[in-house]
Amino acid sequence: MDSTSTPSSARTYPYMSRNEIESRIASGQKIVIFSQHVLKVDPWLPYHPGGEKALLHMVGKDATDEIQALHSKDAQERMLRYRIGKIDGFWTNFRPPIQGGAFRPTLNNGHFDHEEPVHQKVPASIIPNSGTLSPVFDNDNEIWRRRRHDKDSPSRTASISSKSSVETDTTGLSYLDALTREQISLDLDKYPDVDLATQHKIAAKYRGLHKRIVDEGLYECSQAAYVVECCRYLALFAAMLISLSHEYYVLGAVCLGLAWHQLVFLAHDAGHMGITHDYQIDTAIGILVADFIGGLSLGWWKRNHNVHHIVTNAPEHDPDIEHVPLFAVTHRLLGSLRSTYYDRVMEYDAVAEFMLKIQAWTYYPLLALGRFNLYRLSWDYLIARRGPRRGPGAWHWYLEIAGQLFFWAWFGYGILCKTLPDGWTRLMFIMVSHITSSPLHVQIVLSHFAMSTSDLGPQESFAQRMLRTTMDIDCPPWLDFIHGGLQFQAIHHLFPRMPRHNLRRAQSLVVEFCREVGIPYALYGFSDGNKAVLGRLAEVSRQAAILAKCQETIARNGGVFGHHD
């Protein structure tokens, strides 16, 4: 970042071997591959507006697609300042250290101190119940059947069917391991092979699709669409104020909740730089909407959401599916996993065991209260100063603090204290306004909770991973404003910075891409999508009950588990 340093364009960068890069990572350096360049991003970690953990999940990997999807051209140019070398040819991804990857350091003589790499156990989890999946291309099932026959090789089978002996199991976790292997096998059958050549072909076609989308102007924001959006926001706020002035407090609370629901879509656009594509301007817009009007921290959301976009539906890493003890969407969370995002163990304890038994019934009631949890997460982020304290995003913390004070001044004091007549009315207003906005929480989790949570390895391409872990929701165009772009989550995950008003136009291009590369495009109706989520929750509850029986059997057998009841 030193302005006196030699311009990067005037430098020459040496080709670096895989062994050299591995050794650097083993020594603690944060090395990322971007457009055939080797980046040492250690100096950028404290500056990264999206948080350091989004970067840590890219260490040792070719992050070209992720970087181009999530960052502006200006940000990509600034990243090139951290170049230290180049690579030649295709890059074979390492598993990042934060995900359990192991790397060999070199000795003074330049040789590795191990003849073979030290491998960590690959994390893995499950995919959706095959009975609830509904890919839009039902007539393509023959393609998957033919591909299964092609892929049933001895080496492939051996890789997914390691010995499942339960003779010495003292916890019942061998049952979870068996589920893991089964669900990985189902995923490997359904999706293209995760070998290097296949995934590079998919990545190349994805980049061609990206270029086509750029050429067709789908990154250009529709100003007219946002004029309509702003009119809707103003109308809802005006309706709230008019209702309060006539003492229609319930109606006023409903109008405020609807306004919050709609405004979150605008904050989401701004957080992804999908409005002006300027980092500072869009962030300021997002803070104005999220903090000043909604009382929620945009900085917290970006830190959380960027990790979600990098490691979507990974039980150990994606905070958007880490809701134990309230919910679990994969049996792997029954094993007390450690969250790399929250840096704590998600204990499967007595409380979790009880709550997960009834999670299909508590799902909607708890989501109705989701906004209160967002306040907690926002305050934790701001009070602990978890955002960047230096660099281009440092000043956002001060603006967010001002926004929080402003929100509680107009909402907490102006409406709750000064406008509403008594404590009961205040409680009613809070609950009705917050519950009215709660369909947003259903919309947010709907596209992921019923989808794959398997880890197919570090070679899986960005495009395949996004399509495997995300579904789209089918709705008529006149309902788009209710869904706010969240109905096209799969398309959004492929192109996060695309303005949401263009997502529907991009759908046909994504469908064509999916057909070409052989990746199922999951498209559900809203009700069917909800049924799939409830089915997933019920399935994990059933698996938890079976695990409990396994553990009871172990206890009766004196700590040795030889069969399942």
* Domain 18-99 CATH class label: alpha beta
Per the CB < 8 A criterion, the answer to whether 461 and 199 are in contact is: yes
pTM for the whole thing? 0.86
- Span 34-44, pLDDT tens digits: 999 999 999 99
Backbone angles phi, psi at 32, to 5 degrees: -130, 140
Q: Please name the residues in contact with 134: beta carbons below 8 A apart, sequence gap of 6 or more.
A: 522, 523, 524, 528, 532
Taking the C-alpha atoms of residue 454 and residue 436, their distance in angstroms, rounded to an integer, is 34
R_g of the chain computed on alpha carbons:
25
> Three-state DSSP class for 112?
strand
Q: pLDDT at position 172, please?
A: 65
Q: pLDDT at position 560, please?
A: 55
Taking the C-alpha atoms of residue 201 and residue 358, their distance in angstroms, rounded to an integer, is 44
Taking the C-alpha atoms of residue 481 and residue 262, their distance in angstroms, rounded to an integer, is 8
Q: Please name the residues in contact with 557: beta carbons below 8 A apart, sequence gap of 6 or more.
A: none
Q: Please name the residues in contact with 346: beta carbons below 8 A apart, sequence gap of 6 or more.
A: 322, 324, 333, 336, 337, 338, 339
| Per-residue tens of pLDDT for the chain, all 565 residues | 443 344 445 578 999 999 999 999 999 999 999 999 999 999 999 888 888 999 999 999 999 999 999 998 888 998 999 999 999 988 999 999 999 999 988 755 555 555 444 443 333 332 333 333 333 333 333 333 334 444 444 333 333 333 333 345 556 678 888 888 898 999 999 999 999 999 999 999 999 999 999 999 999 999 999 999 999 999 999 999 999 999 999 999 999 999 999 999 999 999 999 999 999 999 999 999 999 999 999 999 999 999 999 999 999 999 999 999 999 999 999 999 999 999 999 999 999 999 999 999 999 999 999 999 999 999 999 999 998 888 889 999 999 999 999 999 999 999 999 999 999 999 999 999 999 999 999 999 999 999 999 999 999 999 999 999 999 999 999 999 999 999 999 999 999 999 999 999 999 999 999 999 999 999 999 999 999 999 999 999 999 999 888 888 877 776 555 444 4
CA angle 201, 203, 205 (to 5 degrees): 70
First to last CA, the chain: 62
Taking the C-alpha atoms of residue 176 and residue 182, their distance in angstroms, rounded to an integer, is 10
Both tokens of residue 297?
């921290």
List the domain boundaries for the chain: 18-99, 196-525
Taking the C-alpha atoms of residue 487 and residue 503, their distance in angstroms, rounded to an integer, is 9
From the list 477, 474, 451, the residue with the least C-alpha distance to 526 is: 474
Per the CB < 8 A criterion, the answer to whether 536 and 315 are in contact is: no
Q: How many CA atoms lie within 13 A of 368 on its CB side?
A: 11
From the list 525, 479, 526, 522, the residue with the least C-alpha distance to 504 is: 479
Per the CB < 8 A criterion, the answer to whether 539 and 259 are in contact is: no
Taking the C-alpha atoms of residue 45 and residue 27, their distance in angstroms, rounded to an integer, is 17
Q: pLDDT at position 147, please?
A: 42
Q: pLDDT at position 313, please?
A: 96
Largest CA-CA distance found in the chain, in angstroms, rounded: 83
β partners of residue 106: 112
Per the CB < 8 A criterion, the answer to whether 492 and 484 are in contact is: no
- Using the CB atoms, write b or e for 207-232: b if 16+ within 10 Å: eebbeebeeeebbebeeeeeeebeee
Q: pLDDT at position 432, please?
A: 98
The DSSP H or E segment spanning 228 is helix 223-245
Taking the C-alpha atoms of residue 441 and residue 445, their distance in angstroms, rounded to an integer, is 6
DSSP code at position 311 = S
Both tokens of residue 239?
């309706």
